[in-house]
Amino acid sequence: MRFNVLASGSSGNSTLISTGKTSVLIDCGLSARELAKRLESVGSSVDKLDAILITHEHSDHIRGLKTLIKNPSIRIYISPIALKSSILKDSFNLNLGEPLKAGQAFEIGDLTIFPIKTPHDSVDPLVFRIENCGVKMAVVTDLGYIPSSVAYELKGCDALVLEANHEIDMLRVSSYPWATKQRILSQVGHLSNKEMARFLQEDFDGKANYLVLAHLSEQNNHPEIARLAALEALSSQTPLFATLNEQKVSIAKAGSPLGWIDL
Ligand SMILES: [Zn+2]
Ligand SMILES: [Zn+2]
């Protein structure tokens, strides 16, 4: 199994996960045209996709969906109530996979998908843990904090894509309207560097060889600040986390794919 974060951040989110047999996208928050471009730049294409898994109905996660559903070979997996609140609510003849439900695993080709419920201000927010031949990874963004129920499901993952949305002090003094700041900072908003680091320090089992920090705010965070917060949290746990060295902590980008990570 390998994965590539094609885009990450408030301008659009999408992660490609592939085995020799199966290719799925988690979210498609770019325009369909931009997504096709990025898929091709990493040696894939829209035609090679088997499925798109939707975490939630916010536009930075489903922007390309209206166009992509026209491709009949791509099956869409979405929570039924998220579907009713999304841009697809009036669409007919959707090629839907089985309805997503937190805690209920299912298979797409040789991938096992496990949806996990998260605290976020959408109708039925989910993140996904994905497994192939005993290797596991998870993409965990758009959540106000990491409850122990989520941390528990992330144990044993070989790679984690983890939100590091904002540095709290940068957000507090930013030009964002007060209500937006409150929303982001709330328990159902976005993960701060501080909460990401707390998870790594207190709840992370150290199994993952790769950590990708994701959904960084362009205004209220800086890649180096997020990276340092993660490295500092991890170093407080050494030698347990000796495998996760500096080179294996990377930052997903908004403007271009991160590159393949082979698991
Ligand atoms: Zn988002
Ligand atoms: Zn969201």
3-class SS at 97? Answer: coil
Q: With 80 as the cut, is the pLDDT of residue 237 above it?
A: no
Can you give the pLDDT at residue 187? Answer: 97
pLDDT in tens, 16-60: 999 999 999 999 999 999 999 999 999 999 999 999 999 999 999
Can you give the pLDDT at residue 204? Answer: 94
Rounded to the nearest angstrom, the distance between the alpha carbon of 20 and the centre of ligand 2 is 31
What's the gap between Cα 195 and its chain centre?
Answer: 16
Rounded to the nearest angstrom, the distance between the alpha carbon of 56 and the centre of ligand 2 is 7
d(CA 9, CA 162): 12
Nearest to 28 by CA among 84, 81, 100, 86: 86
Please give the model's pTM, rounded to 2 decimal places.
Answer: 0.96
pLDDT in tens, 184-231: 999 999 999 999 999 999 999 989 999 999 999 999 999 999 999 999
Helix, strand counts (H, E) of the chain: 9, 13
Residue 72: both structure tokens together: 């009949």
3-class SS at 61? Answer: helix
Which residue reads 């209220």 in tokens? Answer: 220
Q: How confident is the model at residue 243 (pLDDT cuts 50, 70, 90)?
A: low
Tell me the ligand closest to 12's alpha carbon: 1
CB 61 within 8 A of CB 30: no
Rounded to the nearest angstrom, the distance between the alpha carbon of 29 and the centre of ligand 1 is 9
Task: State the angle between helix axes of 193-202 and 223-235 in degrees (0 to 180), rounded to the nearest 10.
Answer: 20
Rounded to the nearest angstrom, the distance between the alpha carbon of 214 and the centre of ligand 2 is 13
Residues with C-beta atoms within 5 A of ion ligand 2: 58, 142
Rounded to the nearest angstrom, the distance between the alpha carbon of 200 and the centre of ligand 1 is 21
CB 107 within 8 A of CB 132: no
Which residue reads 């271009």 in tokens? Answer: 256
Can you give the pLDDT at residue 109? Answer: 98
Mean pLDDT rounded to a whole number for the chain:
95
**Which letter does DSSP use for residue 95 in this model?**
-
Backbone φ and ψ for 202, nearest 5 degrees, come out as: -105, -35
**Which letter does DSSP use for residue 187 in this model?**
T
Strand partners, 4: 16
Nearest to 123 by CA among 75, 30, 61: 61
Nearest to 8 by CA among 143, 151, 162, 189: 162
Q: With 60 as the cut, is the pLDDT of residue 241 above it?
A: no
Q: CB neighbours of 131 closer than 8 A, spacing ≥ 6?
A: 111, 112, 114
Tell me the ligand closest to 13's alpha carbon: 1
